[in-house]
Structure 1
Amino acid sequence: MNWASRLIGGRFHYGWLAVAVTFLVLLAAAGTRATPSVMMVPLEHEFGWSRATISLAISVNIALYGLMGPFAAAAMQRFGVRPTLLTALAVMGAGVALSSTMTAPWQMVLVWGVMVGGSTGVAALTLSATVVNRWFSARRGLVMGILTASSATGQLVFLPMLAAIAEHHGWRPVVWVVAIAAGVVLPLVAFLLPERPADLTLRPYGEPADAPLRTDHSKQNPLAIAFGTLASASKTRDFWLLFFSFFICGASTNGYVGTHLIAMCGDYGLSEVQGASLLAAMGIFDLFGTTLSGWLSDRFNSRVLLFWYYGLRGLSLIYLPHAFGIDFFGLPLFAVFYGLDWIATVPPTVRLATDVYGKEAAPVVFGWVVAGHQLGAAFAALGAGMLRASLGTYTVASMISGGLCLIAAVIVLRINRRPREAAIQAV
């Protein structure tokens, strides 16, 4: 990595290369997380598994993905970003490849739920927050927006291709493509992602030239770091406001639309490729929307931004069941409004967490907030599957999801309204 630093030295800050590597890691993880939505219908046809059964594995995956966040952030503080990430990528690739042999629902729960869910939880939003806080003092919102947008780009790159493979060749070739993608990013992390700017005798981007170099690493057990930070943060009102608003965020994105939209399109006579293409189109708009959200969060009140994001998302979800009945503008209109808003909530939420709890503790605090996000996603993935199985339609699930977003729009206005909480010191 020193050779890479010398090569680009004087041209631009190495932090931008660290961001590029992290972006690719998050992209591969996003493609992996999106894969079960492509596999849902083929698995239903081959094994006769119900959508509720498949949704159970997906909900376990989503829950572990979120619950791993604070422990992953703590492990990065204790052991380093690179070794933690390399271990997770190896487990993720192995788990995806192993799933090609599954023949029973419990195997899908074990592999896609436990192995893939836990490992992708390391290559997630807490990784973004850690990299941003270590490498940048300026433009943090913009960089967080770029990294968050990698989830949308993962959909854009993988979903239409994976859906086409599943439609013409079955679901097993799909998992091999995803496993190879996980393997490709391993050497990039190994050779191009330093722990901190100080390892290259650099300061974070935007930090004064006379600022001291930070090389300290926590010596505490990751469990102590994670639970100690939770104990401190959970005593504050802002933590619970962040937690429950992000619970609703997860329920209305990854859990509902990300998991069930392709299957929902099938209910209205659209093919898997058409459903995946709709998600990919939303990914294009989210790529712009989330990056713009990061830029805006550097300049405007994050509470107000979140109010508009959740409110518009709620209205678009309430509109969704009606969109299928409108010939030309129905689904495209939904794709534009929902896509621009998909995960635009992340940069201002990270900004609020950093403002309230301090730069060092923020990644771990945000990890617990992301746990709420994924618990909400797991709740919606399973709940929407059960509602579809019992009612034969997703309409009720869409209305519930939209209503929750309108509640979140009100909740976020109360975050960080009182005098600033004392920053939590990283354990």
Structure 2
Amino acid sequence: MTTGFDEATAIGKGAIDPEARASRLGRRMVAIGFLSINLGIGLCYGTFGVMVLDIERHFGVGRAEVSLALSFVALAHGLIAPVIGMLIGRIGIRPLMIAGALMSSLGFMLIPSASGSLAMFAIYGLLVGPGTALLGVVPVLTLVNNWFSRNQGRLMGIVMMPVVITVAPLAVVAAKPVLGLAGIFYVVAGLFIGALPLLFAVIDAPERVGLEPVGGAPAHASASGASEALTAFQLWRSPHFLLIVLASGLIVGAGVSKNVHFVPILTEQGWDISRAAFLLSISGATGIAGSLLFGYLADRFSSSGALAINALLQACVWLILILPSPFALLVVDAVVIGACGGGVASAKGVFVNRFFGRANFARVSGLSALTTIPFVFAISPIVGALREGFGNYDLPLAAIIILFIVASACCASLVRTEKRLIAAN
């Protein structure tokens, strides 16, 4: 494996074209980022939805309680995100990703032997949550943003393609009769260990090896008007930051609820778990296309406009889950929800870069994740509690539709400002 020192030495001797080397290494970082996201976020969320009923039986808890497991993961993601943003500048992306793989592996290894639901929640909150965050959105999108100064939305769309979420539900349903609940968790733990050699190949930024970002050194105006790092206080005073926090919190919080409750919603409507898992897999598959589509729309037109359309589409198709619907219509619902859910992170990444600049990308991404905690942590358990209180999912689903409409309005209010930024560059 070529080291960063070897790359820099070769470039210094004129042995390699710097632009070609940057492009080659940049593509390699995109591939590793894709793997990291799919392991961290994909395995955690992709396997949980089809194991909800098994986890309920294993630990003897109700639907609202078991929903807390992913809420603790989301809580950990939010709490640790600003720390990740700070540590990226101090110790680098590579060691953080390696630590994330080790923590995630240990967490999934320990879950089957947890003494009860409290121990399970502790494992999800203290090991799986932080571990998958270290493999997740903030470090991976920062890595891509470091290596590329143009077409970030499309490249972020590539790394955010939810391939594992596509195949995990069907794989778990097929493997459960053979491996059991514990065996599934052990396999997941082993996959994190298997990824370590690739994570050791991460190079944080092209400047580390004497190169410039692909597309040239970034130099553009941002809404913040700052080319240096903004403080948390400055961000909190920014209306652009507050609006994107509110919008993304509502969208992502509802998305977490979908992963937890989608299969139970369908089984309560009379569909068997195999068909429900199939729909969940369709949702993941179209998330791949959605990640690319909304990344492209954010690059080509407006990231805030792409997010506004995203939220509005989700508000419309969630109605299908309330009404008595044929299976074909449920397929449409899964396709649209999956495409929209898969496209949020890539469009938001373009938004952060365009409004706050490269120097602030990791900090803004981390702090925005922290400030979305109330939405992400609360929405899924509230949905579970309302379902248990009212005996069905009609009221909580109607509430989620309203939240999507609010999120769409927040994003739409930023379109004009973003168009001025695009025109200035």
What does the per-residue CA deviation read over 1:360-416, in whole Å, with 9 as the maximum and x for residues that have no partner?
112211222233445422212111111122222122111111111011111112237
Q: Which residue of 1 aligns with 2:255?
A: 253
Describe how 1:55-204 pairs up with structure 2 within 5 A: 55-149=67-161, 152-190=162-200, 192-204=201-213
Q: Is the 8 A contact 2:153 2:346 kept in 1?
A: yes
Aligned length: 400
Percentage identity across paired residues of the two chains:
24
Q: Is the 8 A contact 2:48 2:259 kept in 1?
A: no
**CA separation of 1:20/1:113 partners in 2, compared to 1, >3 Å: closer, same or farther?**
same
Q: Is the 8 A contact 1:56 1:109 kept in 2?
A: yes
Shift of residue 48, structure 1, vs aligned partner: 2.4
Name the stretch that deviates more: 341-350 or 153-162.
Answer: 341-350
CA–CA distance in 1 between the matches of 2:310 and 2:42?
24
Q: Is the 8 A contact 2:101 2:192 kept in 1?
A: yes
**CA separation of 1:303/1:419 partners in 2, compared to 1, >3 Å: closer, same or farther?**
closer
| Residue 24 of structure 2 corresponds to residue 22 of structure 1 | no
**CA separation of 1:399/1:334 partners in 2, compared to 1, >3 Å: closer, same or farther?**
same
What does the per-residue CA deviation read over 1:300-343, in whole Å, with 9 as the maximum and x for residues that have no partner?
02222222111111111122222xx3334221111122122113
CA–CA distance in 2 between the matches of 1:248 and 1:45?
30
| Residue 402 of structure 2 corresponds to residue 390 of structure 1 | no
Q: Is the 8 A contact 2:29 2:144 kept in 1?
A: no
Q: Which residue of 2 aligns with 1:327?
A: 326
Q: Is the 8 A contact 1:38 1:162 kept in 2?
A: yes
CA RMSD of aligned residues (A): 2.6
The one-letter code of the counterpart of 1:14 is L
Q: Which residue of 2 aligns with 1:299?
A: 300
The one-letter code of the counterpart of 1:38 is V
Q: Is the 8 A contact 1:68 1:118 kept in 2?
A: yes
Describe how 1:210-229 pairs up with structure 2 within 5 A: 229=231
Query: Secondary structure in 2 aligned to 1:103?
Result: coil
CA–CA distance in 1 between the matches of 2:192 and 2:179?
21
Shift of residue 348, structure 1, vs aligned partner: 2.6
What does the per-residue CA deviation read over 1:98-132, in whole Å, with 9 as the maximum and x for residues that have no partner?
11201311111111122111221222211232112
**CA separation of 1:109/1:80 partners in 2, compared to 1, >3 Å: closer, same or farther?**
same
Q: Which residue of 2 aligns with 1:2?
A: 2
Q: Is the 8 A contact 2:355 2:418 kept in 1?
A: no
What does the per-residue CA deviation read over 1:16-37, in whole Å, with 9 as the maximum and x for residues that have no partner?
0011011111111123321332
CA–CA distance in 1 between the matches of 2:174 and 2:269?
19
CA–CA distance in 1 between the matches of 2:418 and 2:408?
21
**TM-score, normalised by the number of residues in structure 2:** 0.87
CA–CA distance in 2 between the matches of 1:198 and 1:328?
52
CA–CA distance in 2 between the matches of 1:52 and 1:359?
40
CA–CA distance in 2 between the matches of 1:108 and 1:94?
13
CA–CA distance in 1 between the matches of 2:70 and 2:284?
20
Q: Is the 8 A contact 1:86 1:186 kept in 2?
A: yes
The one-letter code of the counterpart of 2:35 is L
Name the stretch that deviates more: 8-17 or 379-388.
Answer: 8-17
CA–CA distance in 1 between the matches of 2:42 and 2:327?
29
Q: Which residue of 2 aligns with 1:219?
A: none
Shift of residue 3, structure 1, vs aligned partner: 6.0
Query: Secondary structure in 1 aligned to 2:343?
Result: coil
Name the stretch that deviates more: 53-62 or 3-12.
Answer: 3-12
CA–CA distance in 1 between the matches of 2:179 and 2:275?
17
**CA separation of 1:373/1:316 partners in 2, compared to 1, >3 Å: closer, same or farther?**
farther
| Residue 383 of structure 2 corresponds to residue 371 of structure 1 | no
**CA separation of 1:61/1:421 partners in 2, compared to 1, >3 Å: closer, same or farther?**
farther
Where does the alignment leave 5 or more consecutive residues of structure 2 unmatched? 220-228
Shift of residue 68, structure 1, vs aligned partner: 1.7
The one-letter code of the counterpart of 1:207 is G
Shift of residue 137, structure 1, vs aligned partner: 0.9
**CA separation of 1:208/1:51 partners in 2, compared to 1, >3 Å: closer, same or farther?**
closer
CA–CA distance in 2 between the matches of 1:419 and 1:143?
20
CA–CA distance in 2 between the matches of 1:174 and 1:166?
7
Shift of residue 417, structure 1, vs aligned partner: 4.7
Q: Is the 8 A contact 1:250 1:374 kept in 2?
A: no
Shift of residue 205, structure 1, vs aligned partner: 0.9
CA–CA distance in 1 between the matches of 2:3 and 2:24?
14
Q: Which residue of 1 aligns with 2:224?
A: none
CA–CA distance in 2 between the matches of 1:111 and 1:247?
24
Query: Secondary structure in 2 aligned to 1:360?
Result: helix
CA–CA distance in 2 between the matches of 1:101 and 1:58?
18
Shift of residue 74, structure 1, vs aligned partner: 1.4
The one-letter code of the counterpart of 1:290 is S
Name the stretch that deviates more: 172-181 or 115-124.
Answer: 115-124
Describe how 1:304-315 pairs up with structure 2 within 5 A: 304-315=305-316
Query: Secondary structure in 2 aligned to 1:393?
Result: coil
CA–CA distance in 2 between the matches of 1:166 and 1:354?
42
Query: Secondary structure in 1 aligned to 2:359?
Result: coil
Q: Is the 8 A contact 1:356 1:421 kept in 2?
A: no
The one-letter code of the counterpart of 2:160 is T
Q: Is the 8 A contact 1:62 1:375 kept in 2?
A: no
CA–CA distance in 2 between the matches of 1:249 and 1:141?
18
| Residue 291 of structure 2 corresponds to residue 282 of structure 1 | no
Shift of residue 176, structure 1, vs aligned partner: 0.7
The one-letter code of the counterpart of 1:308 is I
